[in-house]
Amino acid sequence: MHSTTAAPTVAIPQRTVRIVSRKSQLALIQTHWVRDELQRHFPTLDFEIVTMETQGDKVLDVSLSKIGDKGLFTQELEDTMLRGDSDFAVHSLKDLPTRLPEGLMLGCITERENPADALVMHEKNQDKTLATLPEGAVIGTSSLRRLAQLCHHYPHLTFKDIRGNLNTRLRKLDEGGYDGIILAVAGLQRMAMGDRIHEILPADISLHAVGQGALGIECRTGDDDILHLLSVLSHGPTTARCLAERAFLRELEGGCQVPIGVNTVIEGDTLTLTGLVASLDGQRVIKNTVAGAVTEAEALGDQLAQHLRAAGAQAILDEINATNRA
């Protein structure tokens, strides 16, 4: 994880700050990093971590796309903040809906790890790549975004849903249920499992999820003390990139049930945003790129969404939404 800059000199009243987190190992690694960074900057404050399970943690026998995405990994955490039982929540930003409950806000986005997707292979396939796996080889993923893009590029492969936390999915792979699985590079690196990465998928094969690789810290709207604390963790370039991505997703009203991928690059004062919408079978892929000033990040996201709608993405979205409602 990346270190942060020195804290601004603003007095914070002595208090215990309560951080709420999911119970998974990866969530706790991320939350402990946030706590330790804040403790380093604010040594006189006490920080307490509260853990809980979300609906997404409990329902493991149904694919994410069938459960719905409205706060699947966040609602229970949000409820504790709204009740005043916790002060902020640490999320993988890709799990945080683009529309937050009234009274809550995105207080901070941390510096991003590599946002790409990674292939982890079963040991019997160490001499293979996605492209050279035999026809019918089974690849595990719970993401419709990954599924659609990989179906498009590798129609010879078979794709099978896989749920559970990162350790559970790796165990299912090692037990032989899959020839390979697709996971986020960032999650593997944060859990010191980077050595399991067999192949990092380039953007021309798999555009990543909105916000992937960054942490989003959610807090109560207008809680100035907490917003001051969180400001030391904020990373400007990552924030601009992720706000563009989230605006793109919000304008398309997409989520877990829709194959939407993105890629962002900042060079100087210019932000370049690429996005796609794909049909579930990967047969139709609508893709485009926009570029503009970093300061106009959210407007760029809106602009790209409108371009894709005009190019045929709306028809795909309507079909998928109709299927989900059926």
Helix (DSSP H) and strand (DSSP E) numbers for the chain: 11, 13
Q: Catalytic positions, please?
A: 95
Distance CA 193, CA 62 (A): 26
Which residue type occupies 78?
E
Is residue 120 within 8 A of residue 234, CB to CB? The reply is no
Question: Contacts by 129-136 with C-beta closer than 8 Å and gap 24+?
Answer: 129/198, 129/199, 130/154, 130/157, 130/180, 130/199, 130/201, 130/205, 133/157, 133/179, 133/180
Using CA atoms of 276, 184, 187, 249 in order, give the dihedral in degrees to the nearest 10. Answer: 10
Q: First and final CA of the chain: distance in angstroms?
A: 42
The beta-strand segments (E) located in 53-200 are: 88-92, 104-109, 117-121, 138-140, 158-160, 180-184, 199-200
Cα dist. 186→111, 122, 204 in Å? Answer: 12, 20, 19
Q: Is the dihedral of CA 127, 131, 136, 137 positive or negative?
A: positive
Which 8-state DSSP code applies to residue 323? H
